[in-house]
């Protein structure tokens, strides 16, 4: 694969908890990984890529020098990754200025988009029940942009999911059932929190083919964070006035059907 890439090594306990992780930069060529599998601090990748050294220098620096080092490496992907990782030490105005300094080839990277999303979230109000739903624009499966504010005048049910989510898979039959019953009155929208376009488009295709409603890719988790979603699946019902009517999370058999029908009935009354 062209260009520097990161290699992440995780030490996972039998309980499934990650005890330690270490990230190395590498390019095309031959590398050797050494160390004791039970001692993550001993892991080394040789030869050491220049980006690995830059990353280490930034991580070990105090805050003032960390900011200087990050600023001096914005022409490299490692600098953008460190800027994104440590963005909280910068003021929003500083981040805006730094983003303007990013050279052309790196402007369209995920790291730059993530920082822009972070700045947008700082300027936007989070979703609250009884208040107007915050707007977002995300790419749909058919390649068009979906804008939440353009759905005003009808119910919208947001279904927050990610590829491989166990609870989301269990919820699908019931989600299909309520869609078949209420799809004419409610705009169903599944929002996918997937790390890459390939995962979103290529993984679990048979499962996703059953979801014949609108599907969106939340590339930088903008919508997910606007609605403060931390559990999957989670559902958000927005009423025709554009207000957040209800937010609920998790799945248990029958809950989605009962909850949605109760909310639709309560609003009509």
30-80, pLDDT tens digit by residue? 999 999 988 888 999 999 999 999 999 999 999 999 999 999 999 999 999
Q: Where are the alpha helices (DSSP H) in the chain?
A: 50-60, 63-71, 77-85, 92-100, 110-123, 166-182, 197-202, 205-209, 222-226, 255-268
Asked if the model's pLDDT at residue 124 lies above 80, the reply is no
Asked, for residue 156, whether it belongs to a domain, the answer is yes
Which of 69, 91, 122 is at the close of a domain?
122
Model pLDDT, residue 147: 95
Q: What is the mean pLDDT of residues 197-222?
A: 94
Residues 79 and 117 occupy one common structural domain: yes
The residue range of the domain holding 25 is 5-122
| DSSP-based three-state secondary structure for 264 | helix
Q: Taking all residues of the chain, what is their mean pLDDT, rounded to a whole number? A: 92
CATH of the domain at 178: 3.40.30.10
Residues 14 and 106 occupy one common structural domain: yes
Model pLDDT, residue 1: 52
> What is the torsional sign of CA 12, 17, 20, 23?
positive
Q: How many structural domains compose the chain? A: 2
Largest CA distance in the chain: 69
Residues 99 and 69 occupy one common structural domain: yes
Model pLDDT, residue 241: 94
Given a contact cutoff of 8 angstroms between Cβ atoms, the answer to whether 42 and 20 are in contact is no
Q: What's CA 226's distance to the chain center, in Å?
A: 11
Residues 101 and 151 occupy one common structural domain: no
Crossing angle of helices 77-85 and 50-60, rounded to 10°: 30
Which of 122, 151, 185 is at the close of a domain?
122
Residues 86 and 34 occupy one common structural domain: yes
Asked if the model's pLDDT at residue 254 lies above 70, the reply is yes
Which helix (H) or strand (E) covers residue 88, if one does? none
pTM of the model as a whole = 0.71
Residues 57 and 178 occupy one common structural domain: no
Closest CA to 78 of 104, 100, 106: 106
Residues 212 and 253 occupy one common structural domain: yes
């Amino acid at each position: 694969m062209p260009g520097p890439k990161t290699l992440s090594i995780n030490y996972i306990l039998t309980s499934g908890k990650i005890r330690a992780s270490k990230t190395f930069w590498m390019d095309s060529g031959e590398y050797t990984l050494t160390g004791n599998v039970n001692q993550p601090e001993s892991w080394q990748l040789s030869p050491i890529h220049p980006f690995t050294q830059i990353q280490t220098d930034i991580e070990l620096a105090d805050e003032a020098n960390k900011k200087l080092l990050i600023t001096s490496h914005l022409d490299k992907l490692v600098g953008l990754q460190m800027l994104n990782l440590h963005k909280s030490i910068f003021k929003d105005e500083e981040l805006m200025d730094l983003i303007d300094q990013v050279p052309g080839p790196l402007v369209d990277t995920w790291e730059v988009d993530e920082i822009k999303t972070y700045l947008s979230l700082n300027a936007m109000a989070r979703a609250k029940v009884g208040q107007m739903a915050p707007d977002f624009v995300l790419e749909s499966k058919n390649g068009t942009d979906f804008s939440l504010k353009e759905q005003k005048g009808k119910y919208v049910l947001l279904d927050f999911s990610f590829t491989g989510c166990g609870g989301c898979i269990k919820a699908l039959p019931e989600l299909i059932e309520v869609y078949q019953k209420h799809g004419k009155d409610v705009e169903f929208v599944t929002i996918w929190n997937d790390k890459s376009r390939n995962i979103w488009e290529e993984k679990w295709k048979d499962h996703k083919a059953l979801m014949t409603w609108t599907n969106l890719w939340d590339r930088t988790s903008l919508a997910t964070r606007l609605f403060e979603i931390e559990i999957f699946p989670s559902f958000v019902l927005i009423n025709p006035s554009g207000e957040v009517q209800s937010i609920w999370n998790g799945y248990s058999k029958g809950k989605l059907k009962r909850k949605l029908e109760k909310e639709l009935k309560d609003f009509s009354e």
